[in-house]
Amino acid sequence: MLVVALLALLCGAPSSPGRVVRPARTVVLLYPEARLLPEILAVEDAIRPALDPDGAVSLYTEYLDLARTTDVEYERQVIALLREKYASRRVDLIMPVAFPALRFFLSHRAELFPGVPAVFAAANLDAVTGLDLGSDITGVRLPSEWGATLEAALALQPRTRRAIVISGTSATDQNLQAAAAHDLARYRDRVEITYLAGWPIARLLDEVATLPKDTVVLFVSLLRDQAGRLFTDPEAVSLITRASSVPVYGWSETHLGHGIVGGRLASFESQGTRAAELAMRVLGGERPGALPVVDGSATAYMFDERQLRRWGLSASRLPAGSIVRYQDASLWDLYGWNIVGVGALVAALALLSTGLLIERSGRRRAEVSLGERLRFETLLAEEAATFSRVSAADVDHEIERALRRIADFLGVDWSTLTEYSEDSRTARVTHRWMAEGMDPQPVAALGLGEIPWSVAQLRRGATVRFARVEELPEVGAAVDRQTYRRLGVKSSVAVPLTMEGVVIGALAFSAVAVERAWRDEFVQRLQLLGEVFANTLSRRRAEMEGQRLRQDLAHIGRVSTVGELTASLAHELNQPLTAILANAQAVRRILDAGQADLIEVRAIVDDIVDDDKRASDVIGRLRSLLKKGTLERSSLDMSELVGQVARLVAGDAVLRGVVIRLELAPDLPPVAADRVQLQQVVMNLILNGLDAMRDSAIGSRILLLRTAREGEGSVAVTVQDCGAGIESTELGQVFDAFYTTKANGLGMGLAIVKSIVEAHGGRVDARNNPEGGATFSFVLPIVQKGP
C-alpha cells in the first residue's frame, strides 16, 4: 500500500518524471595540513566538479594540521571537535588526501566515522608497511617517480656523482621522504645519495649554495622545517633553486615553474579526477573492497626551458616524450613591458585569490580580524594593479607612494626599498618613506656592512623578520643587532626582491615605537608585493639596457651614414685643400715675378698652415664619427643577439601589425663577431622583412626568426617573412648595393648585411618560400675550440 502510494507520488511528480530521487550525500575531505596547499588545491579542484556537478553532494573539508600531531593534547581536541561536528550528520564517504590524512583516518575511524567507506587520493604507500586498508577503503596511490627523475637528471648531467635529497619535518614530508628513499635505493651503486631531511631552512640554503658541480638536488617535500617554519612546496622550491649552485629536480607539476629543471612529474589534478571516479562508484552503491587501489596514471617528463638554458643543459638529452614548458621565455625578452604588465596582473589575481583562500581559512580558524585582513588584501591588490600599468617615468613616484600607504596601514615608522647593483656588491636605498619626526639621515647612510647578517639572508632569497632585536642570532647577527639598536629599531621585516631567480633588492618595514610580530601570511603578502616591485624595477632596468642597445645601434646608423656623408666630407676637405693650393700657386707666382713682398709671402704661408690644420680637423671629425666603428670581435650567442634585436623592434612590429615569432636554439655554439655590426645585420633583415609584409593581410603578417646549427662548424640565422617574395629574375641581385624595390629605400640595407657577414667569414642567402614570402639567411662560422 505504502509502496504503491510512493510510486504514485513519484510518477505523479511532473518535474522529474522517471528520475530517481536520491537523498543528499555528504562527503568529508580530510587534508593533512592547516593550509590549502597548491597540491591539495589541484586535487580539490578536480574532485569538486566531478563529484558534485549539480550541487546534490554536501562537501565538508577538514584541515587536520597534522604537523602538530606530536602534540597529544592537540590531537585529542581535533578528534573531539570532529566527533561533535559530525555526530548529528550522516556521512556517506570520507576522502583522505595524502598519506598522513589516510593514516589519521585509519587510526580514528572507529570513534569518528564507524562504518563509513573511504576513497583516498594522492597517498604514497610505497614505504608504508603493515597497512590494513580493510574492505571498505579504496583510492588512488601517488606513484613514486624519484627514480625516473634521477634517471632524467643523470641523462642531462652525465657527470653527476652525487644527489642531495631534500625534505622537511611535516607528516607529509616524512611520508614522501621515506617513499623517495625506498625508490632511490636501487641507484645507490651509481650515485652517492645524501638525505637532508628536516634541516632548518637557513642551514639548508647555505648547504645547497656551495654544492660541487657533480651534484644534483632532488626536491621531495618541505612543508615545514626543523624550526617549525611553514612553507608550501613551490615556496620552498623557489628558495632552494635560488640558492642552489647546481640544478634542482622535482617530482610534482606544482614544482615546475618555480625554479626546478624538471623531472618525472606527477599531476595532482589527475589524482583528484581518478579519486572522484572511484568516489562516484562508491556513492553509487559499489563496495570499495571490490574496487582495487589504482595508481594516479598521469605522470610525465616535464622540463622548464628557462632552467635548461640557465644551467646550459641540452634539450637533446631529454627523455623521449618530454614536455618542455616555458618555451616562450624569450617572449619576455621580446615583450618585456607587456609581460610585466600581465605578470603584475597575474600577481594581482594571485593576491585576490589567496585573499579569498585566506578568508576561507580565516573563517575556519577565526584568528585574526577579518576586516583588517580584507583591507590589507584590498590594498595590496590595488597596488599590484597600479604597478601593472605604471609607466617607467612614474615608477619612483608610485613606489614612494605605495611605501607610504603600506607603512601607514601597518603603523610602522619607516619603509625602504633597496636596490642591489648588478654585481650585488653595493646597494643603495632608492625609495623610502619615513614617519614625521624621523631623521632620515641614519637610514640613508646605512651601509651594507652594518647589517651583514640581514643582507646575507636577503641575498639568499630569505626573509628577515624580528619582533625584537633579541630574536636575531646572538653570534651571527651581532653587528646587525648593534646597528638596529643604534637606529632605534625595535622590530623589522624585510623581503627580498627577486627577478628570475636573482635577488635585485629588498623591501623593508621597520618600527621604532613598537615590538611587532610579523605573521606568516602577512610576510607572504609582502613577498608578493616584493615581486610586483621587482617586476617594476627590473622592467625599468631592461628599458635602460634597451636604451644602451639603441645607442649602439644609433652608432651603427652613424657608421652606415658615413657613406652618405662622404660627399659632404669631401666638400669640407676640399675647401682647405683648394685654399692651400691657390695660396701656394699665388706665392709661386709672386716669387717668379721677382718682386716678392716678404710680408705678403709670410701672410700667405701662414694661411697655408692654417688651412692645413683645418683639413686635419675635418679628418679628425671623420675619425671620431667612426670611433666606435672598429671591429671588436667577441664570443656571441646568436640566439641571445637575435632575441635582443627582436625586442628592440617589437614596438615597431606591433605598429605594423606583424607578429614576430622566435625559434631560437637554446645552446648554440658561439661565433666570434662584432656585436654591434651583427645587431645591425639582424636589424636590417628584420626591417626588410617587416617592409616586405607591408601589403600583406593583417592576420598573415608573421615574421619568423630562427637560429640553428648549420652542419658541424656554423650557425645559421634565418628571417622568414610572409610578404610577396622576390621576383625570380631579381633573386641574384637583392644583396647588391642600391638594389631596392621600395619607393623611398636607398637599397643599402641588404648590401650592408652582405658586407658585414662576409667580413666575418660568413655567407648570405635569399630565397622564396614554397608557401609564399621570402627567407633571408646568413651563416657564420663558430669559434673553433683549440688548435
Partner 1 sequence: MPPPRPVVFVVDDDASVRKSLARLVKTAGYEVEAFASVSEFLARAPFEGPGCLLLDVRMPGRTGLDLQETLRAAERRLSIVFITGHGDVGSSVTAMKGGAVDFLTKPLDEEALLTAIRQAVGRTIDEQAEQGRVTAVRNCVATLTPREAEVFALVVTGMLNKQIGGRLGIAEKTVKVHRARVMEKMQAGSLAQLVRLAGTGGIIAARA
Stretch that binds partner 1, among 292-300, 455-463, 507-515, 585-593 (CB under 8 A): 585-593
What lies within 8 Å, CB to CB, of 423 at 6+ separation is none
Run of H or E including 38: helix 38-51
Tell me: does residue 590 bind partner 1 (CB under 8 A).
yes
Question: Would you say 517 or 570 has its CB closer to partner 1?
Answer: 570
Nearest distance, CB of residue 583 and partner 1, angstroms: 4
Instruction: Specify whether the CB–CB gap between 144 and 183 falls below 8 A.
Output: yes
Closest distance between partner 1 and the C-beta of residue 572, in Å?
Answer: 8
User: Which one, 90 or 571, has the nearer CB to partner 1?
Assistant: 571
Question: Among 542, 530, 471, which residue's Cα sits nearest to residue 498?
Answer: 530
- Residue 414 φ/ψ, nearest 5 degrees: -155, 155
Q: How far is the CB of 563 from partner 1 (least distance, A)?
A: 15
Least distance in Å: CB of 445 to partner 1? 57
- Kindly indicate which of the ranges 552-560, 580-588, 749-757, 770-778 contains the residues binding partner 1, using the contact rule CB under 8 A: 580-588
Q: Nearer Cβ to partner 1, position 369 or 575?
A: 575
Min dist CB 571 to partner 1, Å, is 4
CB of 587 to partner 1, least distance (A): 8
Q: Kindly tell me which residue out of 69, 149, 560, 583 binds partner 1, with binding defined by CB under 8 A.
A: 583
- Closer residue to partner 1 (CB): 595 or 729: 595
The strand pair at 137-141 and 192-197 is best described as unpaired
Least Cβ distance, residue 653 to partner 1 (angstroms): 40
Least Cβ distance, residue 569 to partner 1 (angstroms) = 11
- Region near partner 1 per CB under 8 A, out of 99-107, 484-492, 586-594, 744-752: 586-594
**DSSP string for residues in 719-741:** EE--S----GGGGGGTTSTT---
According to CB under 8 A, which residues from 307 to 366 bind partner 1?
none
Q: Hey, which residues between 602 and 661 contact partner 1 (CB under 8 A)? A: 604, 607, 610-611, 614
Pairing state of beta strands 659-663 and 633-636? unpaired
Q: Which contacts (CB < 8 Å, 24+ apart) does range 46-50 have?
A: 46/268, 46/269, 46/270, 46/271, 46/272, 46/273, 46/275, 46/276, 47/95, 47/121, 47/272, 47/273, 47/275, 47/276, 47/279, 50/272, 50/273, 50/276, 50/277, 50/280
Binding segment (CB under 8 A) for partner 1, from list 53-61, 219-227, 527-535, 579-587:
579-587
Nearest CB to partner 1, comparing residues 590 and 625: 590
The torsion angles phi and psi of 360, rounded to 5 degrees, stand at -60, -50
* Min separation Cβ 589 and partner 1, Å: 4
544: its cell numbers: 635602460
Which is nearer to partner 1, 21 or 593 (by Cβ)?
593
Long-range Cβ contacts of 544-549 (<8 Å, 24+ apart): 546/647, 546/648, 549/644, 549/648, 549/679
Q: How far is the CB of 619 from partner 1 (least distance, A)?
A: 16
Using CA atoms, how far apart are residues 238 and 530, in angstroms rounded to an integer? 14
Name the residue nearer to partner 1 (CB basis): 56 or 581. 581
CB of 568 to partner 1, least distance (A): 9
Q: How far apart are CA 354 and CA 560, in angstroms?
A: 55
CB nearer partner 1, residue 350 or residue 586: 586
Give the shortest CB-783-to-partner 1 separation in angstroms.
44
Please give the torsion angle defined by the CA atoms of residues 614, 615, 621 and 624, in that order, rounded to the nearest 10 degrees.
Answer: -120
Rounded distance between C-alpha atoms, residue 573 and residue 570, angstroms? 5
Of the pair 514, 619, the CB lying nearest partner 1 is at: 619
Angle between helices 520-592 and 638-655 (to 10 degrees): 90
The torsion angles phi and psi of 164, rounded to 5 degrees, stand at -105, 125
Distance of alpha carbon 697 from alpha carbon 618, whole angstroms = 49
Alpha-helical runs (H) found in 739-780: 749-759
What minimum distance in Å lies between the beta carbon of 306 and partner 1?
56
Among 107, 369, 561, 578, binds partner 1 (CB under 8 A): 578
CA distance 50 to 283: 13
Least separation in angstroms between residue 764's CB and partner 1 is 33
SS3 137: strand
Burial class (CB in 10 A: 0-12, 13-18, 19+), 397: exposed
Question: Where are any strands of DSSP class E within 421-566?
Answer: 427-434, 464-466, 491-499, 502-511
**173/611 with CB nearer partner 1:** 611
User: Order of strands across the sheet with 294-295?
Assistant: 57-63, 25-31, 93-96, 118-123, 137-141, 294-295
Which residues ranging from 548 to 577 are in contact with partner 1 (CB under 8 A)? 567, 570-571, 574-577
User: Which C-beta is closer to partner 1: that of 427 or that of 608?
Assistant: 608
Taking the complex as a whole, the smallest distance from the CB of residue 747 to partner 1 amounts, in Å, to 21
Residue 606 phi, psi dihedral angles, 5° rounding: -60, -45
Among 9, 593, 599, 743, binds partner 1 (CB under 8 A): 593
Nearer to partner 1, 159 or 589 (CB): 589
State how far the Cα of 469 lies from the Cα of 479, in Å rounded to an integer: 11
- Which of 70, 482, 561, 585 binds partner 1 (CB under 8 A)? It is 585
Q: Which of 123, 211, 580, 715 binds partner 1 (CB under 8 A)?
A: 580
How many residues line the site for partner 1 (CB under 8 A)? 23
| Residues within window 224-253 making contact with partner 1, judged by CB under 8 A | none
Whose Cβ is closer to partner 1: residue 299's or residue 583's?
Answer: 583
The residue within the footprint of partner 1, chosen from 10, 410, 586, 702 (CB under 8 A), is 586
Residue corresponding to grid cell 595540513:
33
- The helix/strand/coil state of 322 is coil
- Judged by beta carbon, residue 344 or residue 587, the one nearer partner 1 is 587
Stretch near partner 1 under the rule CB under 8 A, chosen from 41-49, 283-291, 584-592, 623-631: 584-592
Cβ proximity to partner 1, 346 vs 586, nearer residue: 586
| Residues that bind partner 1 in the complex, under the rule CB under 8 A | 567, 570-571, 574-583, 585-586, 589-590, 593, 604, 607, 610-611, 614
